[in-house]
Amino acid sequence: MRAGLRLRLLLLLGGLLLVAFVPLFFAVATYTSITLQKLRESHARSLGRTIAGHVAAVGVGRTPDELMPLLRSQLGAEGLEAVGVYGADGRPLARIGEPSAVAALPASARPNREGTADVTTAHGRALAVLVPRRPGAVVAIVRTDDDSAHTTPLLRLLALYTALVALALLTATYAALTRLIVRPLDALANAAERVANGARQLAVPHTPVRELGELGQSLHTMTARLIAEEDKLLSKIDEVEHATARLRETQAQLVRSERLASVGRLAAGLAHEIGNPIAALIGLEDLLLAGGLEPEEERDFLQRMRRETDRVHRILRDLLAFARPSTAGDDAREPGSVEAAVHDTAALVMPHPALREAELALDVHSDLPPVTLSREQLVQVILNLVLNAADAIGPGGHVRIEASRAAAGVRLSVSDDGPGIAADVRDRLFEPFVTTKEVGKGTGLGLAVCRGLVEAAGGTIELDPSVVRGARFVVELPAAPSKLLA
């Protein structure tokens, strides 16, 4: 869980207070200790001078034994631990006090001038004060190590004052942060959350802080713009949805229209292809019914009627093969060999009149896998494409059959160097009854039947648009599954 703004600022302020007050506290404590020490030393000097002066004034003409009661009366006053009286020759005349303090008295004292020296006794640090007298000198040892007893309460009071000031400052800062920053930010965040949950307007809370007010106003402006942009986007989405619906309706109408057009073209082609033979049959039947014909003429008319009838039957058979390519025979599921089908087709078309004066080239790989189209249906597809190419090239032309491995099976192509296919026919080339041949030379069902057979086997057939001269049909067939090869 991350810390909030108030806690972070309070921690920062607390750190700054520590950095500011701790050195100040130690500086004040050190200054106080030094000042008290100096005052203690000054007091010790004054006390030493007073005692020395008193001993010098009262002890004139007294023997060392007589000085002892006087010196003993001075001990313990204002921290006095020991007193020593020295003669004019510097030797001690009388010394009295704590043993450790007496041991700290100098062995000799020259009454040249007043002086002090730091010494240590059993009670701690002390100051030895030498005061000249006539004749000789007086040395007094006064304790100076009790300054800590005076400084400790002062330092505690200073520490308490510093802690109270820091606590008051932190409390005031917490209250100011809560009122001026945190609460307005919380209110602004709640307002933004309401907008995120669906509100259409950002209610900017009032705040005395100028920066937060400007931030709230900026968020209000930004929210208004975003809502406006959202409304525009929703409007555009509605327009796109309506346009999409209209496009779907238009597409459905186009599909229906194209379907009707295809049915119309199919009906027109069927009527044209069957109408001519039927008209011939009706005419021949009228002649036969009129009578008066020779037996040879009647036989000739009947033979013509048979040919026309066969023509109608062939058209209907091709039409059924186009409508039901997947049920062309029981062998439709048997895998076929493209290589064998190409060679079978070449053997069939070589005697064809259109290929006697043309060149047929084969480029077939020998390691092609079996495909999902049967051998007979492969021959039917290749034969139709080769015969169409032969009709297009004329004498001296070239037809080429190629077969190679593809990514998922076999790629077969039949190309020629004829005049090619007109652009207005390319899009409708695989529809029934669409042909580029002269009237009576083709039904227009061959390519449609080929497409039905190939697509029923899971393959594709198309006219290569990259060929500039002539035409090239490309057939891609998937390899037969292993279960069909078993």
Q: pLDDT tens track of the chain, all 486 residues?
A: 566 767 777 788 888 888 877 887 788 778 777 777 777 777 777 776 777 667 666 666 666 676 677 677 767 666 778 888 887 787 888 888 888 888 888 888 776 677 778 888 877 778 888 877 767 788 888 877 655 556 677 778 878 888 888 888 888 888 887 777 777 777 878 878 887 777 777 777 777 777 777 777 887 788 888 888 888 999 999 999 999 999 888 877 875 665 565 556 556 656 666 776 787 788 888 888 888 788 888 888 888 888 778 777 767 776 665 555 554 444 445 788 999 999 988 887 877 777 777 888 999 998 899 998 888 888 888 888 888 888 888 788 889 999 999 888 999 999 998 888 887 777 777 776 666 555 445 556 778 888 888 988 889 999 988 888 889 999 999 998 865 555
For residue 7, give the nearest of 181, 210, 196, 145 by alpha carbon: 181
Q: What residue spans in the chain does CATH classification 3.30.565.10 cover? A: 330-485
Q: In terms of C-beta density within 10 A (0-12 exposed, 13-18 middle, 19 or more buried), how is residue 480 classed? A: buried
CA-CA distances (angstroms) from residue 284 to 180, 270, 279, 315, 440?
112, 21, 9, 20, 19
In the three-class reduction of DSSP (H, G, I as helix; E, B as strand; rest coil), residue 176 is classed as helix
The domain 330-485 is placed in CATH, from the list 3.30.70.20, 3.30.565.10, 3.90.550.10, 3.40.109.10, at 3.30.565.10
CA distance 51 to 269: 151
Q: What residue spans in the chain does CATH classification 1.10.287.130 cover? A: 209-323
CATH number of 209-323: 1.10.287.130
| C-alpha 202 chain-centroid distance | 30
Say which amino acid occupies 248: R
CA distance 108 to 92: 6
CATH top-level class of 5-152? alpha beta
In the three-class reduction of DSSP (H, G, I as helix; E, B as strand; rest coil), residue 439 is classed as coil
Q: What residue spans in the chain does CATH classification 3.30.450 cover? A: 5-152
